[in-house]
Amino acid sequence: MKVLYWNVRGIANAPTQNALKDFIRVHKREILCIAEPFVALNSIPSSFWRGFGLATICTNDRGGSRPNLWLFGKISLVPMVRVLLVTDQQVTLQVMHDSVNCIITAVYARTTMAERGRLWTDLAEVKGRFVSGPWLVFGDFNAVLGAHEKKGGAPVCRRSCEEFQAMSDICELIHVDTKGAEFTWARCCGLRGNVELRLDRCLANLECTVILNILLSNVGPLFPLMVVLLRFCNISCVFYVKHSKHAWNWEVFGGIHRRVDADLSALTILQEHIAHSGGSDEEFSIENELQANLIESLRLQELFWREKSRLRWLSDGDRNTTYFHAMCRARQLRSSITLLREGDQVFEDASSIHNHVLDYYSNLFANHAEHHDNGLVDRVIPSTVTAEENDALALIPMADEILAAVKSMDADSAPGPDGFTGHFFYLLLGNSW
């Protein structure tokens, strides 16, 4: 049995739908999960899914918001599927496959730690109430296990990592090895400012890994249960490439389908190289150029299909760019202060708000002259460190002292909050002296 999970924005676009057709044709899935579609389910005609031999199983429950987890099953398989638990961040199914009851949980986690805590509770409930055999959990967890699963940006939140690991231990889930890119989500912020994270993953209990011989992969041979996780970073419209031999394509667009293929291939190769080597300023610059080339090729490909099909409703740039622009504007509005009130006084213009905030914190943290040291601290708290000891503690450690401290660390000890063991620092600093 194959499960296809696709974190995709723009499922209503024709190019994205064509790409989905191609992946389904290649992978021959039984269960399909669409995450983060940003459109209503009824906006896609049911005939579209029936064309794949699929029927709707269920969606997640987000109250008044649109569901962002859609689950479909092969028409012949749907009668053997039972919905066990549906919440806002997960959907759990029981699927009978080869006379084995398999529990499958699709996840799309929230972005805040407090909200993810409800998801961890839901998964623990699934474990306690329903799991007695193979259990597979997959999707976008919006969390990492440690610093080794993030590159760039601010340090990882230690508490979030600990809660994610605690959930895995409580539910007795194993993080399944994957093939393909190490990081599944990226945000480009200029040179040396890129942030990459491993957010999409697959977890399984011991029965699942032993009995079903899971392989989580992008490509590979047929296994009893194979989960394919797809996430296209930095490209909000996924395209379907189909060879065209029309002469006008070459004359007007210059073989746009092959151009898209070539741009995507070059970008993929470079990103894989950066993922392994860490990347240089020059390589990051080339990556930005290749992304710009790919975006331009996608624009020309849209124009090609529009000219060929004469569909006037396909507007320029229909790759969810409006959504991202709206999100940026909303974030700017949330981050701005347009009014402050202190008692009966109201500050509305930017200058008065600026001066009020500056005066407030200046008065709060300034050293006022009326505050005098009365010696109470020295009388109540005894001094147990001499002046000589204090000077020795304040000295900057010598290079040989740092190396000696690193060598004294247990190389096989458990990794710290940063995810690295003592052996890593010994190799790092040992080669520097």
Per-residue pLDDT of the chain (433 residues; tens, 9 = 90+): 778 888 877 788 777 777 777 777 777 778 899 998 888 888 888 888 888 889 999 999 888 888 989 999 999 889 889 999 999 999 999 998 777 788 999 999 999 999 999 999 999 999 999 998 899 999 999 999 998 898 888 888 999 999 999 999 999 999 887 766 678 887 765 544 678 888 989 899 988 776 544 343 333 332 333 454 444 333 222 222 233 334 444 555 557 778 888 888 888 888 778 777 777 778 878 888 888 888 788 777 766 665 554 433 334 444 444 555 565 566 666 667 878 888 888 888 888 888 888 888 888 777 665 666 777 777 788 888 888 888 888 888 888 888 888 888 877 777 777 777 777 777 777 655 5
Q: Rounded to an integer, what distance in angstroms lies between the CA atom of residue 95 and that of residue 339?
A: 55
Q: Residue 88 contacts by C-beta under 8 Å, 6 or more apart in sequence?
A: 60, 61, 62, 63, 110, 118
Q: Which amino acid is at 61?
A: D
Contact (Cβ atoms closer than 8 angstroms) between residue 252 and residue 30: no
3-state secondary structure of 61: coil
Partners of residue 97 on adjacent β-strands: 100
Distances in whole angstroms, Cα of residue 91 to Cα of each of 6, 126, 147, 424: 15, 10, 29, 40
Which element (helix H / strand E) includes 31? strand 31-35
Exposure on the CB side of residue 334, measured as CA atoms within 13 A: 6
Task: Specify the amino acid at residue 348.
Answer: E
3-state secondary structure of 272: helix
Report pLDDT for 421: 78
Question: Hey, what long-range contacts does 309-316 have (CB within 8 A, 24 or more apart)?
Answer: 314/14
**Whole-number Cα distances in Å, 254 to 180, 250, 267, 294, 296:** 31, 4, 20, 14, 13
Beta strands in 205-352 (DSSP E): 215-216, 226-231, 340-342, 345-347
Backbone dihedral angles phi then psi of residue 421, each to the nearest 5 degrees: -95, 175
| Residue with the two structure tokens 């899971």 | 214
Is there a contact between 109 and 140 (Cβ–Cβ < 8 Å)? yes
Eight-state DSSP code of residue 148: G
Distance, in Å, from the CA atom of 260 to the CA atom of 226, rounded to the nearest integer, reads 28
The β-bridge relationship of strands 69-74 and 54-59 is antiparallel
Q: What element of type H or E holds 248?
A: helix 247-248
Whether 226 contacts 169, CB under 8 Å? no
User: What is the rounded CA–CA span in Å between residue 238 and residue 8?
Assistant: 8
Q: Looking at residue 378, what is its pLDDT?
A: 77
Total Cβ atoms within 10 A of residue 13? 21
pLDDT at 371 (0 to 100): 64
- Indicate the residue type of 125: E
CA distance 301 to 16: 13
Q: What is the DSSP letter of 242?
A: -
C-beta separation of 15 from 239 below 8 A:
yes
CA–chain centroid gap for 121, Å, is 20
Task: State the sign of the Cα–Cα–Cα–Cα dihedral 117, 118, 121, 123.
Answer: negative
Cβ atoms of 239 and 260 closer than 8 Å: yes
d(CA 129, CA 136): 15
In the chain, what are the helix, strand and coil shares in percent, each to the nearest 5? 40, 20, 40
Within 8 A by CB and 6+ apart from 11, the residues are 17, 20, 34, 37, 39, 44
